[in-house]
Homo-oligomer: A and B are copies of this chain.
Amino acid sequence: MKNFNRLDKDQAAVLLVDHQTGLLSLVRDIEPDTFKNNVLALADLAKYFGLPTILTTSFEDGPNGPLVPELKETFPEAPYIARPGQINAWDNEDFVKAVKATGKKQLIIAGVVTEVCVAFPVLSALAEEFEVFVVTDASGTFNQISRDAAWDRMSQAGAQLMSWFGVACELHRDWRNDVEGLGALFSNHIPDYRNLINSHASFTGQS
Contact = CB atoms under 8 A, between A and B. Distances in A.
Q: Is the interface of A mostly helix, strand, loop or mixed?
A: helix
Interface residues of A, number: 92
A51 interface: no
Nearest to A177: B85
A48 interface: no
Nearest to A168: B116
A63 B201 CA distance: 8
Interface in A15-39: 21-22, 24-26, 28, 30-37
Interface centre among A3, A4, A120, A183 (most CB of B within 10 A): A4
A36 to B, nearest CB: 4
A151 B127 CA distance: 24
Interface of A: 1-4, 6, 21-22, 24-26, 28, 30-37, 58-60, 62-66, 68-69, 84-88, 91, 113, 115-116, 119-120, 123-124, 126-127, 129, 134, 136-137, 142-143, 145-146, 148-153, 155-158, 160-163, 165-166, 169-170, 172-177, 179, 183, 190-200, 202-204
